[in-house]
Amino acid sequence: MTQPRANPPRPIAVDAFTREETYAATRLPVDLASSLIPDAYVSEQFRELELERVFARSWVPVCVTAEVAEPGSFVVATVAGRSLIVCRDRDGALHAHHNVCRHRGTQLVAEERGRVERFFQCPYHAWAYGLDGACLGTPLFTPEAGIPDDQRGAFDTSGVTAFDKADYGLHPARVAAWGCLVFVCLDPEAPSLESELGDLPARLEGYRLDEQRLLRRVDYEIAANWKLVGENFMEYYHLPWVHPGLVKVSPLKDHHRWQGDGMYVGFCTSPIATNTDDGGWQGLPALHSLDDDDATSARFAWLFPNLALNALPNHTFVMLTRPTATGRTEEATYLLAHPDSIAASADAEADVDALLAFWDEVNREDIGIVERVQLGLGDPAFTGGRLCYRFEESVHRFQNMIVDRMLGIRRVPPGDDVPQRPMFG
């Protein structure tokens, strides 16, 4: 009998991170495969390549639409080491710009989020840029700036040789929105966001994600690699031991693979169990726009590369992971709900607080275990482990997406031939 391949011994040479044979054990069918090489979680050299090959070439979620809903509102996000300003202009259009002044390279905005009236102004020499990125002033251009009338000539660039403000707008990045999420892409050659999402928007259409309101945001610091957070999210194998409360409302026998075409990992709990003394997902009334299956199920998707979308009949919970170091992750979580569900609740505030408390407890349990995984992966004796068939099909799909991008392969993995199938039994 042929034995499954094992991952190569550690340490692995840096140039091996871009070779197919390095990932041979992970490329096997899931019933024979081993997990991704441990260096993918602990090596700084792997992280540097990953930023360029995964994050710089993907549609990366950066915020929820509610954070840039108003004209002039902005968030600053770091993607593949680049600081980007994502904002909405006065006509309602989204823009993304590199957070770099075109004069001397000063970072324009230091705040993580905020709102400006009309423009972004460099703190160094006061060059100003419109919400659409156009260069407006070099360096000052409005009466409110306080330039004495007898000095305005000093700031007139009309006579400067070979200089046109139209040529000095902010460097743009691609930006797109779907549902309650905003994405950016640094790669001008990458396919559209729609082509990468695949069938997921159609599958979640009844949830009316684009109409949902942001109710709460909670941030977490995690001492673990961002991929561990994702892999933990997408597999049910750990629930009985890590989540004694969650497994009561998400029984193992009701877990299903829910996987279509697209750059995502999909799964679900169907039907959802009622709340227990430990809490649960019920509370706010469910949306009436859902069909019978969606109205009784919890749909989960990990959007490649770094976001978890939990779509419940009565609310949505988003987990956005931001890698900050090889073994460090910042996680922003968002609780959203449709206005119809909020209006139909007898005590919406209490319902929302209860939902958030339940999610917070589950999330903290996950953080504790992935931080222990990170510690274990630092031991050179560990070279990877055998994936547990059926329980970890989702992890296998995700890890092979990572391998594809590390090898420079761009493809959207196929979905299943059935809408959903039991993951256990």
pLDDT band at 164 (very low <50, low <70, confident <90, very high): confident
**Residues 402, 260 share a domain:** yes
Q: Is residue 29 part of a domain?
A: no
Is pLDDT at 349 greater than 90 in this prediction?
yes
100 compared with 252, residue with greater pLDDT? 100
322 compared with 248, residue with greater pLDDT? 322
| Domain range enclosing 407 | 208-422
Q: Omega before 139 cis (within 30°)?
A: yes
**Residues 285, 144 share a domain:** no
Quick one: angle between helices 393-406 and 226-233, nearest 10?
150
**Residues 321, 275 share a domain:** yes
C-alpha triplet 6, 8, 11: angle, nearest 5°: 145
Mean pLDDT of the chain: 89
Is pLDDT at 354 greater than 50 in this prediction?
yes
Give pLDDT, residue 143: 43
Q: Is residue 14 part of a domain?
A: no
Lowest-confidence region among 15-19, 221-225, 385-389, 416-420: 385-389
**Residues 400, 256 share a domain:** yes
CATH number of the domain bearing residue 164: 2.102.10.10
Q: Find the DSSP H helices in 171-259.
A: 193-197, 200-203, 226-233, 239-242, 246-249
Cα 261 to chain center, whole Å? 18
Is pLDDT at 406 greater than 70 in this prediction?
yes
**Cα 83 to Cα 270: distance, rounded to the nearest angstrom:** 40
Give pLDDT, residue 328: 98
Q: Is residue 84 part of a domain?
A: yes
Q: Is residue 71 part of a domain?
A: yes
**Residues 292, 385 share a domain:** yes
- Residue at which a domain ends, from 154, 174, 194: 174
Q: How confident is the model over 190-216, as pLDDT tens digits? A: 999 999 999 999 999 999 999 999 999
Residue 105, classified by CB atoms within 10 Å of its CB into exposed (0-12), middle (13-18) or buried (19+), is exposed
**Cα 240 to Cα 229: distance, rounded to the nearest angstrom:** 18
Name residue 299's beta-bridge partners.
268, 311
How would you list the strands of the sheet with 119-121, edge to edge? 119-121, 128-130, 135-137
Q: Token pair of 32, please? A: 């024979």
DSSP string, 31-83: TT-BPPPTHHHH-HHHHHHHHHHTGGGS-EEEEEGGGG-STTEEEEEEETTEE
- Residue at which a domain ends, from 151, 174, 197: 174
Q: Is residue 159 part of a domain?
A: yes
Give pLDDT, residue 191: 97
Contacts of 324 (CB under 8 A, 6+ apart): 330
Q: In three state form, how does the secondary structure of 102-145 look?
A: CCCCCCCCCCCEEECCCEEECCCCCCEEECCCCEEECCCCCHHH
CA distances, 324 to each of 114, 330, 388 (Å): 22, 7, 30
Q: Token pair of 409, please? A: 């392969």
**Residues 359, 311 share a domain:** yes
Contacts of 62 (CB under 8 A, 6+ apart): 75, 77, 79, 84, 86, 182, 183, 184, 320
Lowest-confidence region among 97-101, 130-134, 252-256: 252-256
State what percent of residues in the chain have pLDDT above 70. Answer: 87
Is pLDDT at 253 greater than 90 in this prediction?
no
Give pLDDT, residue 410: 96
144 compared with 208, residue with greater pLDDT? 208
Strand, coil or helix: what is 193?
helix
Q: Which of 63-67, 237-241, 288-292 has the highest mean pLDDT?
A: 63-67
Give pLDDT, residue 254: 75
Is pLDDT at 360 greater than 90 in this prediction?
yes
**Cα 187 to Cα 162: distance, rounded to the nearest angstrom:** 30
Q: Is residue 367 part of a domain?
A: yes
Q: Is residue 53 part of a domain?
A: no
Is pLDDT at 240 greater than 70 in this prediction?
no
How many domains are contained in the chain? 2
Q: Token pair of 252, please? A: 């193992």
Is pLDDT at 273 greater than 50 in this prediction?
yes
Is pLDDT at 243 greater than 60 in this prediction?
no
Residue-level length of the chain: 425
